[in-house]
């Protein structure tokens, strides 16, 4: 192949769409889905309300006040959150940081004595749940009590105390609700619906919150709306 033929081939290849790869895909939880956001209105005059007003006036991007508010809420609510949007009505749209929770879940089981390997539960994208990994699939140690329980018939395995103990221990250690499904492996998933209910309840219990409720109409991410 001549020099100019190779140049032409390179130019043509540059116009082709890049093949799918793990490196090219958007990160997990790149945007929230319906049922994964909470809209919050803070009491006028509160520190949180002042942070929201500042973000509305100057933009959410790079706001030190909003970053500090996100860290404070995550710590006090004991649920990691992202602040995604400010509305023109000075409401804040929050989303649970499911990626952070998934990583915590992964690390917890990776260090567990009964677990041989940890795998992504939802590694593949689907039309309904793009790039989402809401839990882990556990490959248990062959000589563990949990694996012996898992070897029982499915109906018995699903209700085995040792497997409930494994899941409940993770739930208590991480402070989040989990659900488990026993098949050839043990699938442990974040209970997103219960997490949202917990987040709304904890927000509404705060003295500086006027109201908090699930926002099922997810809007584009970015700054304040029009």
Query: Tens digit of pLDDT for each residue in 44-83?
Result: 999 999 999 999 988 888 789 999 999 999 999 999 999 9
Is 178:167 a contact under the CB 8 Å cutoff?
A: yes
pTM assigned to the model: 0.69
Residue ranges covered by each domain of the chain? 37-97+194-214, 99-192
The DSSP secondary structure of 74-91, one letter per residue, reads HHHHTS-EEEEEE-TTSE
Strands 209-214 and 135-140: unpaired
Residues of the chain with pLDDT under 70: 1-35, 122-133, 154-158, 216-226
Please tell me the predicted confidence (pLDDT) of residue 201: 96
Is 195:214 a contact under the CB 8 Å cutoff?
A: no
Please tell me the predicted confidence (pLDDT) of residue 8: 42
Please tell me the predicted confidence (pLDDT) of residue 18: 33
Is 72:212 a contact under the CB 8 Å cutoff?
A: no
| Cα–Cα distance for residue pair 219/225, rounded to 1 Å | 9
């Amino acid at each position: 192949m001549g020099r100019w033929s190779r140049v032409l081939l390179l130019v043509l290849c540059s116009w082709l769409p890049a093949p799918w790869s793990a490196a090219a895909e958007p990160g997990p939880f790149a945007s929230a889905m319906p049922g994964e956001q909470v809209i919050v209105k803070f009491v006028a005059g509160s520190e949180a309300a002042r942070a929201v007003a500042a973000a509305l006036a100057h933009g959410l991007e790079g706001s030190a006040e909003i970053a500090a508010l996100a860290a404070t809420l995550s710590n006090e609510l004991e649920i990691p959150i992202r602040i995604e949007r400010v509305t023109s009505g000075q409401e804040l749209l929050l989303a649970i940081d499911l990626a952070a929770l998934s990583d915590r879940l992964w690390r917890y089981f990776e260090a567990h004595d009964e677990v041989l390997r940890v795998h992504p539960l939802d590694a593949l994208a689907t039309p309904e749940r793009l790039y989402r990994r809401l839990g882990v699939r556990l490959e248990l140690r062959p000589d563990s009590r949990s694996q012996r329980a898992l070897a029982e018939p499915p109906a018995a395995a699903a209700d085995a105390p040792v497997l409930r103990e494994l899941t409940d221990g993770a739930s208590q250690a991480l402070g989040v609700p989990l659900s488990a499904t026993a098949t050839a492996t043990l699938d442990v998933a974040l209970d997103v619906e219960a997490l949202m209910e917990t987040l709304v309840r904890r927000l509404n219990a705060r003295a500086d919150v006027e109201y908090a409720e699930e926002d099922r109409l997810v809007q584009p991410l970015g700054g304040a709306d029009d």
